[in-house]
Structure 1
């Protein structure tokens, strides 16, 4: 029995546009981000994909991307699960800072370590800040001790994997077709796991906004085929744009 999994990074957000570290802060899509989400829906519709279920994070830029894509596919009825484990990587004390200014203040080498090392997180967010997840009512049902104050990609993977094992993998083993609309780093974590990407290589992977990445999996959830939908050159250019942001990275 085969299954299909589509990973979709949210469209451009306001803080993507402003080149700021976003993480768990809830910011809206830009007009371009909304257009990217609709284009993703058109690409998925052109492939004839019919989803059994969809999954997204607790952050509105991913939720709205999913809504717009499903609307474009005329599949607004698809059951949707929102879960905090699919949230973006938490950038700790860097949250909200302009990436270029942060590089000027701390040095490009230090910021590169925080952004692109696999297992070195930025300094933790100060607990008195209003954007500390422990102060966000949407996470009131969680023990504060599971909420991150900062994360590396390694820690993000450790947060995301339980959702893969508990929610996504069982459905895929039943031959379901799933859509996951999430974030650059939570999706990077899934790609690392699915493709068994080495630690020193996954940090160089850039996932473009609004371009669906389709996986075909066998009955043991091994990758049979994967690739971005639509124009390959356009997807590559979008990924390069992510990599070339000043101080760069995902948000």
Structure 2
């Protein structure tokens, strides 16, 4: 794809680290510095963490689950807005409406091109072919629906 990375970020989850290794190896960039942080671990859902999404949607309704999963200002149950992590989420120049409709595909790396102040220059780009990314986004959208 012609990408040349200055630095790579990953969570501390083994599967994420291994995926990064594969991407770095495939692009012959194993020398690139890596920052690992728990802040990039999977989404934290407060009181909903670990619950089955379909069962949660059946119990609370698909619309409420979507709000909990996407909103920056409506936390899931028992997540206090004063929690340390609540304010660390940034919108990346997206409206609340765009965020509510965004289905981030799992397992597909995202690339941001940043300026010297670490502000995005361009919108996020997914590293994957269009069809694979589309199918992954559809799968994520279906996770919050009742069965």
Q: Flag the 1:102–1:89 CA change in 2: closer, same or farther, 3 A.
A: same
Q: Indicate conservation of the 8 Å contact 1:118/1:203, yes or no.
A: no
State the alpha-carbon separation in 2 of the partners of residues 59 and 81 from structure 1: 12
Structure 2: gaps of 5 or more residues: none
Matches within 5 A, 1:133-144: none
Counterpart position of 1:95: 49
Once the two structures are TM-superposed, the CA of residue 122 in structure 1 deviates from its matched residue by 1.1
Structure 1: gaps of 5 or more residues: 1-46, 126-144, 149-154, 161-188
**Structure with a larger share of its residues in helix:** 1
Task: Check if 1:159 corresponds to 2:88.
Answer: yes
Once the two structures are TM-superposed, the CA of residue 241 in structure 1 deviates from its matched residue by 1.8
State the alpha-carbon separation in 1 of the partners of residues 123 and 145 from structure 2: 33
Q: Indicate conservation of the 8 Å contact 2:8/2:32, yes or no.
A: yes
State the alpha-carbon separation in 1 of the partners of residues 97 and 24 from structure 2: 35
Once the two structures are TM-superposed, the CA of residue 52 in structure 1 deviates from its matched residue by 2.6
TM-score scaled by structure 2? Answer: 0.73
Task: Check if 1:204 corresponds to 2:133.
Answer: no
Task: Check if 1:86 corresponds to 2:40.
Answer: yes
**Structure with a larger share of its residues in strand:** 1
State the alpha-carbon separation in 2 of the partners of residues 118 and 201 from structure 1: 12
Which digits, 9 at most, give the CA deviation of each residue in 1:24-82, with x for residues without a partner? xxxxxxxxxxxxxxxxxxxxxxx232323211123333222212222222332322111
State the alpha-carbon separation in 1 of the partners of residues 9 and 125 from structure 2: 20
RMSD between aligned residues:
3.0
TM-score scaled by structure 1? Answer: 0.47
State the alpha-carbon separation in 2 of the partners of residues 210 and 109 from structure 1: 25
Counterpart position of 1:28: none
Counterpart position of 2:20: 66
SS at match of 1:66: helix
Higher relative contact order (CA 8 A, sep 6+): 1
Residue correspondences, number: 142
State the alpha-carbon separation in 2 of the partners of residues 227 and 81 from structure 1: 20
